[in-house]
Amino acid sequence: MTATRTTAHIETTEAAAPHRPAPRGRALRTTGFHLTAGLLSALWLLPIVLVLLTSTRTFDDIAAHGVGSRPHSFTLDGFRQAWVDGGQQRALINSMLVTVPTVLLSLGLASMAAFALSRYALPFRRVLLLLMLGGNLLPPQILLIPVSKLSELLGIYDRLYALIGVQVGFGVGFYVFVLHGFMRAIPAEIQQAAVIDGANPWQIYRRVVLPLARPALAALSALSFTWIFNDLLWAITVLRTEDRMPVTASLIGLQGQYVSMWNVIAAGSVIAAAPTVAVFLRFQRHFVAGLNLGAVK
């Protein structure tokens, strides 16, 4: 009888135990995942590698063997031509003069608006948030002519600060919507403790809320820098003079100037992409932290 009970207990335990995948099957799935991810990464990096190789080849090499052939030369003369003769140096300065103030001004205004809308019971705050979000849902193509005409009427057409104003106006709504979610998740007890200590709203915003929202601000800084720096549509809408064009619009002129000199065009593309890559690598840790903070409430 005891042996029968023991056998029944073992069978019941085995039936209740969860089925665990065999180590061999798990290893095969892991290997398949890494192979697939590696293949996709290689396909993603292939155009970048091709541009880098093309930018370091001579024109004669490309003309003789083709763009996609194995390199038979190495030179940095394409970067010199794009930087000096092609106007990339001036265009890069223009892009930085637009991007850096726009990012700082946009996030500064957005953080203050998000702080007020998330921490205080303001009237019609949900309506304001919906209006800000709805403004970002409009396709920018339908606003090109109104923005161009308005900048002409205001006398700021073909000025870099006109482009800054446009970028700030069309970006603040989205930044407020994102920061509102982060700031709203901050426990109310922290703000109440600051009020008991005698802090005013400005001190609470600057010394309490902003440090806690640093991951979100860093993530938005990386994204907004990339978006604004790579923007072409608004640049060719409110700017006309070639000397004021940012680097994205300058690439179009570079392609028209050098036509089939693919090494110079590729070098100009590398120069245009370098600042955004550097910013993303610098804020990568904060960017991932910001995404994780938004994913877990």
From the CB of residue 16, how many other CB atoms can be counted at a distance below 10 Å?
Answer: 7
Confidence of residue 219 (pLDDT cuts 50, 70, 90): confident
pLDDT digits (tens, 9 = 90+) for 82-95: 998 888 999 999 99
Nearest Cα residue to 265 out of 276, 255, 275: 255
Domain annotation for the chain: domains and CATH numbers = 78-295 (1.10.3720.10)
Task: List the end-to-end C-alpha distance of the chain, in Å, as a whole number.
Answer: 55
pLDDT digits (tens, 9 = 90+) for 142-198: 888 999 999 999 989 999 999 999 999 888 988 998 898 888 888 888 888 888 888
The DSSP letter of residue 154 is T
